[in-house]
């Protein structure tokens, strides 16, 4: 009877074996699971990061099948009263995918574009041979180096004499891309620069200047106490709202902006300024002297030297990397922003940090 009583007591008190309550056993199991989690966590942390955000795309079948003898291709386009359009791209480049699908293939003006331009795709990592002109023949990737293709896509428009009449580096909104197409098709490049043409043909200003806490009103840009970031906008800027809504609203970007004196300039302004190299000028004269027709355009300076030039709106990772290069002083170690970008990407992946190339 005593043994039966003890068994029932153990059942009532939750004891499965003499002296070991159920709650003690459960706690032990939880501790074992915690120890297992801690033991395997370092292995998971040591897994390499992944590159995400790449976008696959297909070059349209209506792009011209070419032997890549550009002098002949340009002349052939001119005979049909067209211009030759070179679409220089990189596989899985999110900017290339966006421009191709938003502006070239699926825009309202795509049928007109197909009628007015001969389009040829050139892969900047490709090995096909390109006869750039009668004197220069080289691979696609060597041509990209020759033309200093740092942002993709690069869209180059050629006239019948195989002369470059305008060039687009990086992403442009469909509105901006359409303006550029008409600028080329109208041959307005013979009379004026692109910003002047856009102002002339636009019904009115497209963009209202927006403020930002980092912006200063400095006009003496030659001061060298901190790195300098100059942002050029104008009233017809097609990508400036995108810049403010995404990059300039991002906390990580704003942390990096604290390393700079940030000056926003109206690219059409005639207000006197002192350029970083100490010369008297105006924003309108200076940006034309620099040969920049993109809006927005962003330039980073340190020690009086231009070290980074961004045309249009980049995605977050590329933009943050570019401004870190100057703002954190990495230009003192890496001779180019591209080399720093590659080193940073490698470092992050080895540390198990994903690199998202697609986030705006």
The reply to whether 70-191 and 215-356 are identical in fold is yes
**Domain ranges within the chain, ordered by starting residue:** 2-45, 70-191, 215-356
Question: What's the Cα-to-Cα distance from 348 to each of 201, 341, 345, 355, rounded to whole Å?
Answer: 46, 11, 5, 7
Class of 215-356 per CATH? alpha beta
Between helix 174-185 and helix 194-201 the angle, nearest 10°, is: 100
Q: For each of the chain's 360 residues, which pLDDT tens digit applies?
A: 434 334 333 333 343 334 444 444 444 434 444 343 333 334 345 789 999 999 999 999 999 999 999 999 999 999 999 999 999 999 999 999 999 999 999 999 999 999 999 999 999 999 999 999 999 999 999 999 999 998 899 999 999 999 999 999 999 999 999 999 999 999 999 999 999 999 999 888 889 999 999 999 999 999 888 999 999 999 999 999 999 999 999 999 999 999 999 999 999 999 999 999 999 999 999 999 999 999 999 999 999 999 999 999 999 999 999 999 999 999 999 999 999 999 999 999 999 999 999 999
CATH of domain 70-191: 3.40.30.10
Instruction: Enumerate helices (H) and strands (E) in the chain, giving the number of each.
Output: 13, 17
- Direct distance between the N- and C-terminal alpha carbons of the chain, in angstroms, rounded to an integer: 77
Note the pTM of the prediction, 2 decimals: 0.84
């Amino acid at each position: 009877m005593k043994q039966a009583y003890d068994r029932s007591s153990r059942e009532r008190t939750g004891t499965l074996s003499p002296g070991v309550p159920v709650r003690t056993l459960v706690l032990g199991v939880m501790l074992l699971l915690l120890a297992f989690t801690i033991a395997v966590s370092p292995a998971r942390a040591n897994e390499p990061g992944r590159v995400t955000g790449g976008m696959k795309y297909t070059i349209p079948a209506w792009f011209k099948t070419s032997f890549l003898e550009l002098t002949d291709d340009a002349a052939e386009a001119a005979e049909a009263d067209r211009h030759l359009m070179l679409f220089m791209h990189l596989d899985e480049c999110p900017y290339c995918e966006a421009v191709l699908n938003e502006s070239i293939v699926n825009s309202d003006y795509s049928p007109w574009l197909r009628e007015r331009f001969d389009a040829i795709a050139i892969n900047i990592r490709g090995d096909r041979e390109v006869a750039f002109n009668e004197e220069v023949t080289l691979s696609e990737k060597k041509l990209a180096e020759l033309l200093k293709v740092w942002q993709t896509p690069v869209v180059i428009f050629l006239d019948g004499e195989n002369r470059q009449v305008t060039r687009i580096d990086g992403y442009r909104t469909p509105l901006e891309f359409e303006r550029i197409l008409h600028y080329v098709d109208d041959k307005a490049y013979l009379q004026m620069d692109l910003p002047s043409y856009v102002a002339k043909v636009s019904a009115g200003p497209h963009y209202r200047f927006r403020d930002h806490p980092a912006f200063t009103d400095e006009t003496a840009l030659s001061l060298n106490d901190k790195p300098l970031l100059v942002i050029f906008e104008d009233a017809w800027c097609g990508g400036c709202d995108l810049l403010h809504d995404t990059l300039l609203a991002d906390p990580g970007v704003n942390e990096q902006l604290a390393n700079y004196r940030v000056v926003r300039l109206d690219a059409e302004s005639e207000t006197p300024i002192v350029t970083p190299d100490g010369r008297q000028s105006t924003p309108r004269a200076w940006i034309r002297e620099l040969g920049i027709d993109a809006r927005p355009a962003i330039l980073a300076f340190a020690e009086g030297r231009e070290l980074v030039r961004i045309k249009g709106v980049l995605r977050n990772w590329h933009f943050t990397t570019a401004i870190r290069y100057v703002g954190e002083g990495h230009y003192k170690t890496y001779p180019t922003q591209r080399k720093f970008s590659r080193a940073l990407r490698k470092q992050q992946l080895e540390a198990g940090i994903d690199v998202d190339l697609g986030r705006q």
